[in-house]
Structures are given as C-alpha cells and as structure tokens.
Amino acid sequence: MASRASSPRQWEPRLPATSRGERPAGRLGLLGLLVVLGCAPGPALPVLGEVPAFRLTERSGDLFGSDDLRGRVWVADFIFTRCPDVCPAMTANMKRLEAHASGPTLISFSVDPAHDDPTVLAGYADRHQAGPRWKFLTGGREAIAGLLKDGFHVAFGDGGPPEAPITHSDRMVLVDETLHIRGYYRGRDPDDLSRLEADLARLAERPGTPAGGQHS
C-alpha cells in the first residue's frame, strides 16, 4: 500500500530571511561575526504552536498522552506500518535520533489506525528495534485526524485512490517540555535531520531542561 507524502503547501511557519544586500554596521556587525564564529549563542528557537491535550493507545496497550510528555523534549512523526516508501525512510531517521545525546522521547503516530492496532505497532517497533523511549500511538480515526490537522498543523487524508489511499505529512516535529512546537523538519532530508539534531542539542542545553526520555 503506497502513501503520498504531503506537499510543502501545508501550513508551516517560516522565519523572515535577511536580505543578502544588507550589511550590519558597528556593534551589530561585530555581534554577527561572533555568532558566525560560535562565540555567541544563536537566537532562541521560535514557538510555532502548541500541541493540544490528547490521549491515545501505545503499542503496549497502555494509554499514553500529552500529560505523559510534559517536562520532556520530544520528536513526533507520522507513519503507518503498511507504507512501503515514505515511512521506512522516516523510521530509519527516527532510529538515528534515538541515539542522540540529548535522549529525546520519540513519538510515532499511526495515520492508519484502523489497521495499526497495538499488536501491529508492537511488531513494527520490534522490527525496528525501538527502545522504551520510542512510543508508537494509535487511536480512533477522528482523534488522530483532528490532532494532526488542528494540533500539529500537518496534512492527513485517507480518501485517496486504492494505489495510494493515505496522504500524510513527511515532517518531523520538535516539541519542548511545555508542549510548544519549536520546529518542523523534512523527515527524509539529511540537511533537515542535521538541523533537527542541532536544535535538540540547543533545547537540551537550556538551564533546567530535563533529559528527553525517562519513560518506561
């Protein structure tokens, strides 16, 4: 069963770019030089939204939701177990993030909840050697659709043709310990994955930020 990755037309906040012809002067020029040289911290990551409260079913069969994620930095992606193209690449990159030094919690939301029950998700997780910090969630179709569209602001559709019935986002989403969205990243793009890893480190370096995953 093929899937269709959403196009970049989905809602995705962008930061304003600096004009190439603009040259800072005086102290601003010096500050810019220090940032480039790594002698000063970069700007804080933007707040791009807030994940609403949710409660779904984890592959273990236990309920799991937003209350369990408060106080944790985490990364979300959106996959389904029968997907032959987009999802294996995204899952491989989530596996890479599992080894990140900041220890983020990883959350994979199934976009095919009618098929991906906890038993199916558990088998998928085992095949990819997912550890306890990596959660696989499923639930009712309306709950999943509403969370993706209205919470994460990413694409979702399950009314496509038989050869590609499910359309879903190929974005990974970085969420901080207060459930604020701090970044969107193309889940199959090496440069975006490197940017996500750098942003994870930036969040982890803030004073008082807990480790990403202590969940059992």
Q: List CB contacts of 60: < 8 A, sequence separation 6 or more.
A: 118, 122
- What is the 3-state secondary structure of 113-162? CCCCCHHHHHHHHHHCCCCCCEEEEECCHHHHHHHHHHHHCCCEECCCCC
Quick: pLDDT tens for 156-179. 877 766 666 787 899 999 999 999
Give residue 148's pLDDT band: very low, low, confident or very high (50, 70, 90).
very high
Contact 92, 190 (CB under 8 A): no
Instruction: For 91-127, write each residue's pLDDT tens digit.
Output: 999 999 999 988 899 999 999 999 999 999 999 999 9
What per-residue confidence (pLDDT) applies to 71? Answer: 95
Is the separation of the CB atoms in 175 and 146 below 8 Å? Answer: no
DSSP letters of 31-69?
HHHHHHTTSS--PPPPP-EEPPP-EEEETTS-EEEHHHH
Q: In angstroms, rounded to a whole number, what is the distance separating the alpha carbons of residues 60 and 80?
A: 17
Question: Contact, 130 vs 163, CB < 8 A?
Answer: no
Fold category of 45-204 in CATH: Glutaredoxin (3.40.30)
**What does the pLDDT read at residue 84?**
85
Closest residue by Cα to residue 111 from 56, 161, 166: 166
Distance between CA atoms of residues 24 and 125, nearest Å: 50
Confidence of residue 28 (pLDDT cuts 50, 70, 90): very low
Q: Which of 15-29, 39-53, 70-84, 103-117 has the lowest mean pLDDT?
A: 15-29
Q: Average pLDDT, stretch 73-88?
A: 93
For the chain, domain boundaries: 45-204
Residue 178 DSSP one-character state: T
pLDDT at 20 over 80: no
How large a percentage of the chain has pLDDT more than 90? Answer: 63
pLDDT, residue 5, reads 55
pLDDT at 43: 78
In this predicted structure, what is the pLDDT of residue 213?
42
Distance (Å, whole) CA 12 – CA 6: 12
How confident is the model over 22-50, as a mean pLDDT? 56
Determine which helix (DSSP H) or strand (DSSP E) holds 181, and give its type and residue range.
strand 180-186
pLDDT reading at 26 higher than 90: no
Q: How far apart are CA 123 and CA 138, in angstroms?
A: 14
**Rounded CA separation 183/189 (Å):** 14
